Amino acid sequence: MGGKASLLVVLGFSMIFLVVGLNFSNLSTRAVDNYSSYYTVTKAYDIAVSGANMAANQIFMDKTWDAGYQNLSFDGGVLNVYVSNTITGTAGKVLICHTPPGNPNAKHSMWVPVSAVPSHLAHGDYLGDCSGQSSGGQTATIISEGTYNGVTKVVEVLLRGSSFAKFGNYYSTMSAYPATGDTFEGPFHVNEWLTTYGSPVFWGKATSAKGLKMMGSPKDPKFYGGYEDGVNIPLEFDTTNLRSNADYIFYDTTRTKSLVNVRLYFNSDGTLTYSQKIGAGNWSSSKTVNLSTFAPNGVIYVQGGNIYTKGTLNGKVTIVAAKSKITNAGNVYFEDNLVYNKDPRIYPNSTDMLGIVAEQNIRIQDNPNTRGKDIYTQASMYAQNGTIGPEDGLINQNFLGQWNILGGLIASNTRATAQYDYKGNPIRGLKFVHRYDNRFLTSVPPSFPNTKSYEVVSWLE
């Protein structure tokens, strides 16, 4: 009996060791398989990411680049990159609906060279757009496919110009420097040296192209949003693009190359009252129209003239004053306060938004509405070749008020708004009080100028 029991015990342990050993063997095999699969997928993904970065760099260097890469051997695998670039109009390319091999969930529309069409059709792609996808817009799209050991991974990148409206302050150069007592909200950029006196405060990220020069005492600027140099963002934009997007264009109907002055007065009920004066002629009778029907796409353009504006905006619009080779044209003048019907600081869901684009300067006019008073301006302001600030009479007036801004200032250079005593304190004019409109980080006025170079706005993997 004792011998049988011992035999059963030995057989039982042998069976247990056999099962455990088999499980260990299977576990080791699955671990190797999992590692191999993980390595293959990762390798394909890395190839796709590399292709996307290579293409994005090419587009950054040349905005019209759309050549892509076809069947390029890369890191032991194969790389295919397709670029749909609306700047070049995808000339010579064909729109197809593409399904990456083995990855039907990644189906997408894209433009490919004519020579690449047969190979795509051979693996099941078809001509035309995939349902629900669009290739339009002022953008460049990169589709990068990395294939390794039969596995394909896809990276899709969308690029477009970055709106200047995202800046709280932008200047190509600065003749008036940030100093103690100055506070800046939102992104701040100067496309040369950033020179500071004392302890100005920057709440948003500050950047400059050449570096930082600290002057005065103490040499202690406060960069609470961080600081970075070597960031080059030229103030380059062709305002003719705005003209093509305009709903209504004021121009010299006499064809005598005369200056066109236009009054645009915004009313809190969503209407706009306008009139115009051509050359030495008289002002036309005022007309009041519904802003949403007068400018449904939100752009009002004055060609070869100036804009005089004020009021309370109920709506979303960009107004443009273009010089168009006419002397003394391309300026925007504030005749009084210019504010939103619903201040977004009080009404977070406010859709009121104003963009002001001047090919030359933006000025607060010296008149009975502005002299001896605080001024309120709510808009993102862009002066391509000039400055933004009050007329000389308001800077030299025997009064010290405030210019309260909600929005952004983008200009070729800075302009002083007040006169200062020997201690650096303002004594007359308008103290600069700026608040950034945070909505401009994600939403901008219609057709507001973009940077010349593209930047990545989405990266899908």
Q: Give the bridge partners for 64, in sequence order.
A: none
Which of 184, 221, 178, 219 lies closest to 203 in space, CA to CA?
Answer: 184
Confidence of residue 90 (pLDDT cuts 50, 70, 90): low
Instruction: Please report the pLDDT score of residue 326 as a whole number.
Output: 94
3-state secondary structure of 268: coil
The confidence score (pLDDT) of residue 162 equals 79
Each residue's pLDDT tens digit, 417-428: 988 887 767 899
DSSP E strand stretches across 50-191:
69-74, 77-85, 93-98, 108-113, 126-127, 140-148, 151-163, 169-171, 183-184, 188-190
Q: Edge-to-edge strands of the sheet including 183-184?
A: 183-184, 201-202, 222-223
How sure is the predictor about 2, in pLDDT bands with cuts at 50, 70 and 90? low
CA distance 116 to 82: 10
Structural contact between residues 160 and 454, judged by C-beta atoms closer than 8 angstroms: yes
pLDDT in tens, 375-428: 999 999 999 999 999 999 999 999 999 999 999 999 999 998 988 887 767 899
Task: Find the largest Cα–Cα distance for the chain.
Answer: 128
**Given a cut of 60, is residue 149 above it in pLDDT?**
yes
Q: What is the mean pLDDT of the chain?
A: 87
Residue whose C-alpha is closest to residue 436's, from 393, 404, 396, 412: 404
pLDDT at 135: 37
Q: 222 to each of 34, 87, 185, 386, how far by Cα in Å?
A: 51, 40, 12, 28
Report the percent of the chain where pLDDT is more than 90. 56
Q: For the residues 370-379, what does the mean pLDDT come to?
A: 98
> What does the pLDDT read at residue 97?
79
pLDDT of residue 37: 84
Q: Are 408 and 388 in contact (CB under 8 A)?
A: no
The C-alpha atoms of residue 194 and residue 370 are separated, in whole angstroms, by 32
User: How many beta carbons lie within 10 A of that of residue 410, not counting itself?
Assistant: 29
Residue 122: per-residue pLDDT: 74
- What DSSP character marks residue 105? G
Cβ atoms of 427 and 418 within 8 Å: the answer is: yes
pLDDT surpassing 90 at residue 258: yes
DSSP state of 150: T
Over residues 68-73, mean pLDDT: 90
366 half-sphere exposure, CB direction, 13 A CA radius? 14
Identify which of 22-36, 57-71, 134-148 has the greatest average pLDDT.
57-71
Higher pLDDT, 56 or 290: 290
Across 343-347, average pLDDT: 96
Separate counts of helices (H) and strands (E) for the chain: 5, 32
Above 50 in pLDDT, residue 27?
Answer: yes
User: Helix, strand or coil for residue 218?
Assistant: coil
> Which tokens is 281 given?
């002629």
Instruction: For residue 47, give every residue at least 6 positions away whose Cβ sits within 8 Å of its Cβ, in sequence order, or none.
Output: 74, 75, 77, 78, 79, 146, 147, 148, 153
Q: Which residue type, as a one-letter code, is found at position 234? A: P
pLDDT computed for residue 136 by the predictor: 38
Tokens of 439: 């909505």
Mean pLDDT on 77-87: 83
Q: Is residue 209 pLDDT above 70, yes or no?
A: yes
pLDDT for position 87: 64
Q: How confident is the model at residue 137 (pLDDT cuts 50, 70, 90)?
A: very low
| Banded pLDDT at 189 (limits 50, 70, 90) | very high
What's the rounded Cα separation, in Å, for the pair 54 and 143? 12
Burial 127-136 (b: 16+ CB within 10 A, else e): eeebeeeebe
pLDDT one-digit tens code per residue, 428-442? 999 888 999 999 988
